[in-house]
Amino acid sequence: MDIAVVGAGAAGIAASISAARAGAKTLLIDKNPAVGGTGGCSGLTTICGLYDDAGRFLNPGFAREFAEQLKDGSPLRMGRVWVLQYRPEKFREVAAHYISNSPQLESLWNTGVENAVMENGRIVQLNGIAVGAVVDCSGTAEVARAVGVECLATDETTQASAIVFPLGNVTRELGTTADVAQVLLPVARAGFPPLNLQPSLEPNTLTAKFAGTTELVWPLIEFLRGNVAGFENCSTPVTEFVPARRAGRMIVGQYVLTGDDVLVGRSFPDAVARCAWPIEQWGRDGIARFKYLPPGVHYEIPARSLRAANIENLFMGGKTISANVDAIASARVMGCCLATGAAAGNLAAACIQSGRTR
Give the count of beta carbons closer than 10 Å to the beta carbon of residue 231. 21
278: contact with ligand FAD by CB under 6 A:
no
139: contact with ligand FAD by CB under 6 A:
yes
State the nearest-atom distance from the C-beta of 40 to ligand FAD, in Å: 8
319: contact with ligand FAD by CB under 6 A:
yes
Give, as ranges, the residues between 108 and 137 that touch ligand FAD (CB under 6 A). Answer: 112-113, 137
State the nearest-atom distance from the C-beta of 242 to ligand FAD, in Å: 10
State the nearest-atom distance from the C-beta of 223 to ligand FAD, in Å: 21
Rounded Cα gap, residues 88 and 321, in angstroms:
24
Task: Select 52 or 142, whichever has its Cβ closest to ligand FAD.
Answer: 142
Task: Select 243 or 265, whichever has its Cβ closest to ligand FAD.
Answer: 243
Which helix (H) or strand (E) segment is 164 a member of? strand 162-167
The residues near 104 (Cβ < 8 Å, ≥ 6 apart) are 19, 20, 21, 23, 24, 25, 26
- CA dihedral (319, 322, 324, 329) in degrees, to 10, reads -30
Q: Where are the alpha helices (DSSP H) in the chain?
A: 10-21, 37-41, 62-70, 88-100, 142-147, 177-189, 217-227, 259-264, 325-331, 334-353
249: contact with ligand FAD by CB under 6 A:
no
11: contact with ligand FAD by CB under 6 A:
yes
Rounded Cα gap, residues 319 and 322, in angstroms:
9
State the nearest-atom distance from the C-beta of 109 to ligand FAD, in Å: 9
State the nearest-atom distance from the C-beta of 27 to ligand FAD, in Å: 12
In order of 10, 34, 118, 232, the CA distances from 111 in angstroms are 18, 10, 20, 44
Exactly one of 6, 211, 323, 344 binds ligand FAD (CB under 6 A); which one?
Answer: 6
87: contact with ligand FAD by CB under 6 A:
no
Give, as ranges, the residues between 324 and 353 that touch ligand FAD (CB under 6 A). Answer: 332-334, 337
Rounded Cα gap, residues 344 and 303, in angstroms:
8
With beta carbons less than 8 A apart as the criterion, state whether 311 and 118 touch.
yes
Applying CB under 6 A, which residues contact ligand FAD?
Answer: 6-12, 29-32, 37-39, 44, 46-49, 112-113, 137-140, 142, 162, 164, 209, 244-246, 318-319, 332-334, 337
